[in-house]
């Protein structure tokens, strides 16, 4: 675990819990505003770093402006400075800016142990990325030979983040064959350079031209394309921004559609400029006539957490036991979720607002008890949400400005006057988290979260789903240290009939265990409670709150690692169990689960995508069992198994982001998302990060005909590829979304199979083509498709644009499997030329039982190479070796070194010329 202790942990100290973030960026008159750059708290204090961030963005702005044909520039940027750095008069308190919604993170090291700038992308072509990453050494200009000027890399990453384009190089497939010729994977093809390789022997290294393997026709794996230092080609930024002449993105005219890179695979052979031109940003702007101003910067320093609970106690809260459920969820928040040292106030409201507690700093359990006693216990009156918000602003302003403060607003009632305080909310600088309880909560409620960057959640009246407690449990700090953050290990409920038991287990893994809380609620009377620790010892001492119908037990010290068993016995009532804990170490990162939907609104029949990101520090957790529970406003719950297989909704295989399409719309209105993740015997921590979307590392440059190698990129293969077994349980609230246009049941089949995105093709015995892919479903990635249509073409564009006219392969014997199983199909090309040097392109379309067709798959390619026959040489007569004497004045080893160096120089001269 030693390698985890610092370099990995910095990535998540404040940040990874919100890795699936909602950006504050807005485009205003061609200028991007609201960009948040956050410096990780583990980065050593260095004022020069702030200036380096400013210099990078300032340098990037005119480069972006030119690259986008005078359409975009960077207008203003907020820099988040860690709380432990020295305070300065020019540092002000953030408003809506938090580590959770930061667009750019400055971290001590990247996950791969190098300084490679990269962007986290979990979506598909044209979908915004999550976050950009840079290191201090990169910002300080220590990596200029490898990555070029920092501002250029910032624009490369910005294109990933904002417009969802992908890299045009491929570290795993640096070369490909086209019409029998080997070409470098790049865009555009007009960039000049040499394909070279370094060979070392006996302490000496030589650089020579790459030679094709006689058996495969391809270069060795170590071969590199090294560009000339001086170029004239202007494209493309997504290949390598470090080439001096490159100032443009590839367009439809100069885009290399054959290159096996992620841009072609993800974006259906479209150029980066075509994707950018199709973005909302592009559609709502026109080129500027004047030069844009330089970016402006604001310096923000994180301070103490300030939270005011604004809780509905109107008459409707008396139904469905809601006021009591509010008490239970509020107690969990005050006992466990809110971090030590935070300031908390409380306001309740009906048709008016009432201050229940001024801001109180939580420094001890007695402070928490004072606030718990302020929770409302009775319900009556109307609903005036704005009154509650205004009162909360007043409470906060008595001690602090409202900038950067947080309000947790819970309501179950309708209020058509809520828009009356929208302007006050915007001007306050406060972040508002909303909790909609029940089916009738104000429809405009989510607008408050959207305009302030807060979390939006929904809890139904289905008590067994534990939605209200989950919503409050999700309200951990966006800026607080991860080592102090509450992590939910379990959340479940059950309605029992007669006399029954609710049995189960909870795994306390080694990354958590501090401040562990077991919380049990009931609806009529206290159940029998049996809790056994991993050694089988019974745990007594539950504190019973009969009025609020809950009991809880705080495990002293650090809870034992292992499986905890619980049994709850009751009759004719609903029980819930919630288990939370905090990290066991300040240096070893905990396993975290963050989740979200791809959008906060779903419009039928467009599918939604569910994401769950599972990490320990920077390392993804693989082979976990991950289930999404999506509950509609009608109380219907759909269970989805999420997958990390690189197919269907999942963008990248084995990256720790588990995904799935959601199509099971039930009704219009709110839906809540909850994730359950279980790491068992098959789960492992992946020690190698999949290739990220990032700036290209340039291996070297050719200057005056001579190859000048850059320092070798740090090896990632030194990590333990086998990973390590991980056992854990986690639950996570993914917030809520709102569905519209859902027709009245029964709903007809309107969902086609999803696009196949992982089609691969190889040649067997120089005759047969072997295809593999992941099966889609009948409805996106659910069920089973009815049939496949496979077509081939010698022209890649004709296959894409005229798929129905391309040659169809006989698939009579190909019966589709259930979604997400591997498909294998072997066929011999008929009625098409297939000889040495032939390039064939293959694509698939899936069809469901009502003839709805998927999008055409990614296009796979095979190139036929038949090794030349080696003529049989007649045997040579043996010649006796002459006697060789070595003069003692010139050692024999030295002579061999001279000969080796001379041969190498001769090979290089011949190869490069």
Question: Which residues are the active-site residues?
Answer: 157
Helix (H, G, I), strand (E, B) or coil at 900: helix
Angle between helices 150-163 and 47-67 (to 10 degrees): 70
Confirm if 332 and 580 have CB atoms less than 8 A apart. Answer: yes
Between CA 583 and CA 561 the distance in angstroms is 12
Token couple for 478: 């966006």
- Write the CB contacts of 421 (distance below 8 Å, at least 6 apart in sequence): 385, 386, 389, 390
Helix (H, G, I), strand (E, B) or coil at 337: helix
**The Cα angle at residue 861 between residues 220 and 912, in degrees rounded to 5:** 35
Place of tokens 């804990």: 581
Between CA 311 and CA 348 the distance in angstroms is 5
Which one, of 341, 337, 399, 413, lies nearest residue 372 by Cα? 337
**The Cα angle at residue 421 between residues 419 and 427, in degrees rounded to 5:** 125
Helix (H, G, I), strand (E, B) or coil at 473: helix
Between CA 600 and CA 411 the distance in angstroms is 19
CA 771 vs CA 117, 218, 644, 822: distances in Å: 35, 21, 21, 10
Between CA 312 and CA 385 the distance in angstroms is 8
Between CA 648 and CA 659 the distance in angstroms is 8
Place of tokens 């690189």: 646
Between CA 766 and CA 420 the distance in angstroms is 73
The b-or-e profile of 235-273 (16+ CB within 10 A means b, else e) is bbbbbbbbbeebbbbbbeebbbbbbbbbbbbbbbbbbbb
Confirm if 732 and 628 have CB atoms less than 8 A apart. Answer: no
Helix (H, G, I), strand (E, B) or coil at 663: coil
Token couple for 560: 């034992």
DSSP β-bridge partners for residue 518: 553, 579
Q: Give the containing element (helix H, strand E) for 409.
A: strand 406-411
Confirm if 406 and 305 have CB atoms less than 8 A apart. Answer: yes
Token couple for 706: 């001579």
Between CA 64 and CA 57 the distance in angstroms is 10
Is the link from the previous residue into 505 a cis peptide, with omega within 30 of 0?
A: no
Between CA 743 and CA 745 the distance in angstroms is 6
């Amino acid at each position: 675990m030693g390698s985890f202790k610092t370099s990995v942990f910095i990535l998540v100290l404040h940040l990874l819990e919100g890795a699936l973030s909602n950006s504050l960026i807005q485009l205003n008159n061609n200028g991007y505003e609201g960009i948040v750059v956050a410096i990780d708290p583990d980065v050593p204090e260095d004022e020069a770093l702030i200036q380096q961030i400013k210099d990078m963005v300032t340098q990037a702005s005119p480069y972006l402006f030119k690259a986008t044909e005078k359409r975009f520039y960077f207008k203003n940027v907020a820099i988040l400075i860690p709380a432990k750095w020295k305070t300065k008069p020019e540092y002000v308190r953030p408003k809506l800016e938090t580590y959770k919604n930061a667009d750019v993170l400055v971290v001590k090291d990247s996950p791969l142990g190098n300084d490679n700038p990269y962007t986290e992308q979990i979506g598909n072509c044209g979908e915004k990325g999550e976050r950009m990453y840079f290191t201090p050494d990169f910002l300080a200009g220590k990596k200029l030979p490898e990555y070029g000027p920092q501002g250029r890399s910032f624009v490369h990453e910005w294109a990933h983040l904002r417009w969802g384009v992908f890299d045009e190089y491929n570290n795993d497939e640096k070369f490909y064959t086209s019409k029998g010729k080997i070409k470098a994977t790049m865009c555009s093809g007009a960039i000049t350079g040499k394909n070279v390789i370094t060979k070392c022997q006996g302490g000496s290294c030589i650089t020579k031209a790459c030679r094709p393997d006689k058996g495969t026709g391809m270069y060795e794996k170590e071969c590199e394309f090294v560009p000339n230092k001086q170029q004239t080609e202007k494209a493309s930024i997504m290949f390598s921004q470090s080439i001096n002449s490159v100032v443009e993105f590839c367009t439809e005219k100069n885009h290399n559609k054959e290159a096996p890179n992620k841009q072609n695979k993800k974006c259906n052979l479209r150029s980066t400029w075509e994707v950018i031109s199709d973005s909302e940003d592009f559609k709502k702007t026109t080129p500027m006539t004047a030069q844009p101003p330089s970016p402006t910067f604001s310096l923000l320093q994180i301070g103490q957490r300030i939270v005011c609970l604004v809780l509905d106690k109107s008459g409707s809260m008396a139904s469905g036991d809601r006021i009591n459920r509010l008490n239970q969820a509020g107690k969990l928040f005050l006992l466990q979720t809110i971090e030590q040292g935070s300031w908390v106030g409380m306001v309740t409201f009906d048709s008016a607002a009432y201050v229940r507690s001024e801001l109180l700093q939580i420094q001890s359990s007695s402070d928490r008890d004072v606030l718990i006693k302020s929770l409302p216990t009775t319900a009556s009156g109307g609903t005036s949400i704005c009154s509650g918000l205004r009162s909360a602003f007043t409470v906060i302003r008595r001690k602090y400005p409202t900038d950067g403060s947080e309000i947790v607003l819970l309501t179950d009632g309708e209020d058509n006057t809520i828009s009356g305080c929208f302007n006050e909310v915007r001007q306050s600088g406060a972040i508002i988290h909303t909790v909609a309880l029940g089916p009738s909560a104000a429809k405009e409620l989510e607008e408050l979260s959207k305009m302030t960057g807060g979390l939006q959640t929904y809890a139904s009246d289905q008590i067994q789903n534990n939605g209200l407690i989950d919503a409050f449990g999700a309200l951990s700090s966006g800026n607080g240290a991860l080592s102090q953050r509450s992590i939910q290990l379990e959340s479940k409920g059950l309605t029992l009939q007669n006399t029954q038991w609710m049995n189960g287990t909870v795994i306390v893994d080694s990354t958590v265990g501090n401040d562990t809380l077991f919380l049990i609620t009931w609806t009529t009377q206290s159940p029998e409670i049996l809790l056994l620790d991993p050694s089988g010892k019974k745990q007594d001492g539950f504190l019973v709150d009969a009025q609020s119908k809950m009991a809880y037990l705080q495990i002293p010290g650090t809870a034992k690692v292992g499986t905890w068993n619980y049994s709850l016995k009751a009759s004719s009532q609903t029980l819930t169990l919630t288990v939370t804990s905090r990290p066991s170490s300040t240096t070893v990162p905990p396993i975290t689960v963050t989740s979200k939907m791809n959008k906060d609104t779903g419009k039928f029949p467009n599918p939604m995508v569910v994401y769950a990101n599972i990490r320990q520090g920077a390392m993804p957790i693989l082979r976990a069992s991950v289930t999404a529970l999506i509950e509609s406003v009608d109380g219907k719950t759909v269970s989805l198994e999420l997958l990390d297989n690189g197919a269907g909704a999942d963008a990248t295989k084995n990256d720790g982001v588990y995904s799935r399409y959601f199509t099971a719309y039930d009704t219009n209105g709110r839906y809540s998302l909850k994730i359950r993740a279980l790491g068992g015997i098959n789960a492992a921590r992946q020690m190698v990060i999949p290739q990220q979307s990032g700036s290209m590392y340039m291996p070297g440059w050719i200057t005056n005909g001579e190859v000048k190698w850059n320092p070798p990129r740090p090896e990632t293969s030194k990590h333990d590829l086998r990973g390590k077994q991980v056992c854990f349980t986690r639950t996570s609230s993914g917030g809520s979304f709102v569905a519209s246009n859902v027709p009245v049941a029964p709903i007809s089949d309107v969902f086609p199979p999803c696009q196949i995105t992982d089609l691969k093709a190889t040649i067997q015995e120089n005759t047969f083509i072997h295809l593999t892919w992941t099966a889609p479903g009948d409805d996106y990635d659910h069920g089973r498709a009815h049939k496949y249509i496979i077509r081939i073409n010698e022209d890649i564009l004709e296959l894409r644009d005229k798929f129905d006219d391309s040659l169809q392969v006989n698939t009579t014997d190909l019966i589709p499997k259930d979604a997400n199983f591997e498909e294998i199909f072997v066929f011999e090309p008929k009625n098409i030329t297939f000889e040495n040097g032939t390039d064939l392109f293959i694509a698939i379309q899936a069809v469901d039982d009502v003839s709805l067709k998927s999008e055409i798959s990614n296009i796979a390619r095979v190139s036929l190479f038949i090794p030349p026959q080696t003529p049989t040489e007649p045997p040579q007569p043996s010649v006796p070796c002459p006697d060789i004497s070595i003069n003692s004045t010139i050692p024999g080893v030295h002579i061999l070194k001279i000969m080796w160096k001379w041969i190498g120089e001769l090979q290089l001269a011949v190869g490069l010329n």
